[in-house]
Every structure is written in C-alpha cells, then in structure tokens.
Amino acid sequence: MADLAEGPRMMTEPVDCPEDGPRAGMALEVAFRDGVPVFRPGPGPGLAAGPAG
C-alpha cells in the first residue's frame, strides 16, 4: 500500500527497495513499468508505504 500525499491509498508494488524492504513512512516516488505505476524509494518526505490497517 502507498498513501499518496493527495490523500488516497493505492495498492501497488514497491520496487528497488533496500534489502530490509519498504518501511512505514518511507518516502517514495512513482515509476512506471509497462504503463503501470509502481513506487520506489525517493528523496525526502512525500509518499509513505506501509502495511494496510
């Protein structure tokens, strides 16, 4: 799950994450794979990934 800065929560696939995986609060940036948005670690605050719930 990725919580977008604009408010919605989006099911997505994190890519290029560190070995310990994505963490809640991790800044992300959008990337596209075959036209589908995926998220990778990004600079600074903005988007956060974490478990749903």
pLDDT tens string 2-44 = 888 788 888 888 888 878 877 888 888 889 999 988 999 888 6
Per-domain boundaries in the chain: 2-43
- Contacts for 42 with CB less than 8 Å, ≥ 6 apart: 27, 28, 29
SS3 letters for 8-50?
Answer: CEECCCECCCCCCCCCECECEEEEEECCEEEEEECCCCCCEEC
Confidence band, pLDDT 50/70/90 cuts, at residue 45: low
Q: Cα–Cα distance between 50 and 53 in angstroms, integer? A: 9
